[in-house]
């Protein structure tokens, strides 16, 4: 069982989105060669909530599409002994972090990019996961590596622009 907590504050997603996120989480871990030892929580929310989180945590008072809140630094390569303080004693899992996705922005971007809302939410989820695993997109090289990992996970689960 994957350590994925799924919360939909908007009521916009059905069980198929949660199941797809679960598969994407497994696919990205496989792509990265990482065992199933982490907990991740993903929340689907509205524009006002994510705007508030963005302002509070990043100092940017605007709606964004996805926010990632890493629970650990230096995740890859994962060495359990380096994260003894990050393990949940009840589950035995390591708290990788939280992802918050704005459903309103996902719907807008799906229209803008010409693909489904499900595909956009899946992309945002995988993008957020990559950040939790320590990937970034500050340089062209980082952006290319992160994008390659994202596309590998999406493709492994059959999530294409046509989905």
* Residue 7 phi, psi dihedral angles, 5° rounding: -130, 130
Structure pTM? 0.94
Architecture of the CATH domain 4-156 = 3-Layer(aba) Sandwich (3.40)
For the chain, the helix, strand and coil percentages under 3-state DSSP, each to the nearest 5: 50, 15, 35
DSSP 141-160: HHHHHHHHHHHHHHHHTT--
Over residues 15-46, the pLDDT tens digits come to: 889 999 999 999 999 999 999 999 999 999 99
Over residues 115-136, the pLDDT tens digits come to: 999 999 999 999 999 999 999 9
**C-alpha to C-alpha distance for 49 and 66, rounded to whole angstroms:** 11
Domain boundaries in the chain? 4-156
């Amino acid at each position: 069982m994957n350590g994925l907590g799924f919360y939909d504050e908007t009521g916009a997603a059905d069980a198929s989105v949660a199941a797809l996120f679960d598969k994407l989480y497994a696919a990205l871990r496989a792509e990265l060669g990482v065992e199933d030892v982490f907990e991740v929580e993903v929340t689907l929310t509205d524009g006002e909530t994510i705007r508030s989180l963005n302002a509070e945590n990043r100092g940017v008072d605007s709606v964004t599409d996805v926010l990632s809140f890493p629970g650990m630094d230096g995740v890859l390569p994962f060495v359990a002994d380096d994260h003894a303080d990050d393990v949940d004693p009840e589950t035995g899992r390591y708290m990788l972090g939280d992802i918050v996705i704005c459903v309103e922005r996902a719907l807008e971007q799906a229209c803008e990019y010409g693909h489904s809302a499900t595909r956009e939410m899946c992309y945002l989820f995988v993008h957020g996961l990559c950040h939790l695993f320590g990937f970034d997109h500050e340089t062209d090289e980082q952006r290319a590596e992160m994008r390659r990992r994202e596309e590998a996970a999406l493709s492994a689960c059959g999530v294409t622009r046509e989905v």
